[in-house]
Amino acid sequence: MQAGVTAGAVYRWRVGRTDIPLKGVARYLGYAGHAPDECDNARILRGVERVRDVMDGRACYGLYDITVGEDRVDLPYGTVRSASLAKWLRGCGRAYMFAATIGAGFDRMLRRAALSSMAEAAVLQACGAAAVEHVCDLLNGELDAKARAEGYVPVRRYSPGYGDFALDNQRGFFRVLDPGRWIGLSLMDTLIMSPEKSVTAIIGLKDMATDRQE
């Protein structure tokens, strides 16, 4: 059991406003292998400041026992048939599940921006994507530290929609975590989350002694 974390309970976490990595924004805008020019860089900087002003990074998470088979994983909401998830979590007996968001303020700002400039909206989209990714990284870092302090080795997070881990597993995350209650996050019938810039993911935990033997 992680320090201060009771298995099966759901915890709320908040970082509020945070830095947004410029490299992440550039990557989402398609700048692979070359830097943005002066004009585009100025747009990115403006976008980052605007998103930072309205973002409210929040998350809820829980710690759960899991069972990993050859091509399935038993999660708290049921058995998931996914070879890619089973491979990713092989050797894990516990996992954190979380949902994170940068809040509805971003969605409102983006809608207003799209009415006047699609180019501006595209930059804001990239800034929002980089922002929620960074929020996840910060939460991930804290959960990793909790896990290591208790003798577990965390694996990198994995989200519904990766590999054959079907996107409809979002429903399971919502049943277990109830993020609407904790962070105001909802799931539409289309499996799109609202607020838009939100993420669900699982972080597998291996027993440190077992991991050394492998």
Question: Would you say residue 3 lies in a domain?
Answer: no
- Each residue's pLDDT tens digit, 103-132: 999 999 999 999 999 999 999 999 999 999
Task: Report the sign of the C-alpha dihedral through residues 122, 197, 97, 176, in that order.
Answer: negative
pTM above 0.85, yes or no: yes
Q: Residue 172 belongs to what domain range?
A: 11-213
104 within a domain of the structure (yes/no): yes
Number of structural domains (the chain) is 1
Q: What is the Cα–Cα distance from 112 to 136, expressed in whole angstroms?
A: 26
pLDDT, tens digit (0-9, with 9 covering 90-100), for 62-108: 999 999 999 999 999 999 999 999 999 999 999 999 999 999 999 99
Q: Is residue 2 part of a domain?
A: no
Task: Note the pLDDT of residue 1.
Answer: 43
Q: Is residue 105 part of a domain?
A: yes
Give the domain CATH number at 155.
3.40.109.40
DSSP string of the chain? --TT--TT-EEEEEEES----HHHHHHHTT--SS---HHHHHHHHHHHHHHHHH--EEEEEEEEE-EE-SSEEEETTEEEE-HHHHHHTTTEEEEEEEEEE--HHHHHHHHHHHHH-HHHHHHHHHHHHHHHHHHHHHHHHHHHHHHHHTTEEEPPPB-TTSTTS-GGGHHHHHHHH-HHHHH--EE-TTS-EESSSEEEEEEEEEEHHHHHH-
Q: Are 171 and 187 in contact (CB under 8 A)?
A: yes
Mean pLDDT of the chain: 94
In a domain, 18, yes or no: yes
According to DSSP, the residues that pair with 64 across neighbouring strands are 95
The whole-number pLDDT of residue 33 equals 74
Looking up tokens 């409102």 gives: 108
1 is a domain residue: no
User: Is residue 151, in this structure, part of any structural domain at all?
Assistant: yes
Residue type, 165: F
